[in-house]
Amino acid sequence: MSELTKSTVWTSHGRTSAALEVYLLGTVDFDAAMALQERLVDEISGRSDRLGTLIICEHPPIVTIGREGRITDLPVDTRDFTSRMMEVRRVNRGGGTLVHAPGQVVAYPILPMDRLGCSFSNFRTRLQAATVATVAELRVTAHPTETPHGTTCRCGQFSWVGASVRDGVSHHGLFMNVSPVLDTVRLVRSTADRVKISSLSMQRMEPVPMQKVREALVRHIADQFGYEETHPYTGHPMLKRTWRKVMQHA
């Protein structure tokens, strides 16, 4: 049996590592990303070192309702989402109701919280700090928010932190609007009244290179959690991609 078959992370249990394994996966169906996260949480929780993993991806259009969300966050009938071929899904993460769509960068840090000396509130604060540092490289001034947790700029809130912890390991994470179709991501109400939903492209009034955002975000997340070494990959052997028809929203 190969090592890749025995371990979901590409670092065997036989040796320790303090690196951050980064998986740049492109567009991934939500269910496939959740299944991979579950496997990685199991893997990281069974180790004794500081090895962490970070999934960077985008999702086809879908609505997720976190523990602080509610069905009344949907201002339209759920049948309207069905007509748009968008599922509405309750998930076990912090945060409220969010729309995920292409053009939104998703970062799922699967990290050993106890071995990093990181509390849940500190975890959220570090993700917000990584976001602020990332967009500063694009000459965008941003500030962390608490209700809901995320980051805002002059044009409105463009990122959200919706995370959870299982067996001392973080999962779910950070959602940043880079250049999604705003009519799509504005289909739900924010968990805080009068919060305007925006994006980096809207703030800069020009296209924002997704590759540049991904690279900076990985670098700043690694820095915030004390990882000096990162190992990037463009796939994972345990990722089970699924395919479904997606309606393009103009």
**Domains of the chain as residue ranges with CATH:** 19-233 (3.30.930.10)
Strands, E assignment, 34-103: 52-58, 62-65, 88-90, 97-100
Kindly state the DSSP code that residue 197 receives in the 8-state scheme.
B
The answer to whether the CB of 60 falls within 8 A of the CB of 30 is yes
Indicate the helix (H) or strand (E) that contains 221.
Answer: helix 210-224
> pTM for the full model?
0.88
Could you report the per-residue pLDDT of 92-135, keeping only the tens digit for each? 999 889 999 999 999 999 999 999 999 999 999 999 999 999 99
Could you report the per-residue pLDDT of 12-38, keeping only the tens digit for each? 555 788 999 999 999 999 999 999 999
- Tell me what pLDDT residue 147 has: 81
Q: Looking at the predicted structure, is the pLDDT value of residue 198 above 90?
A: yes
Give me the helices (H) in 30-169, please.
30-45, 78-83, 113-116, 120-136
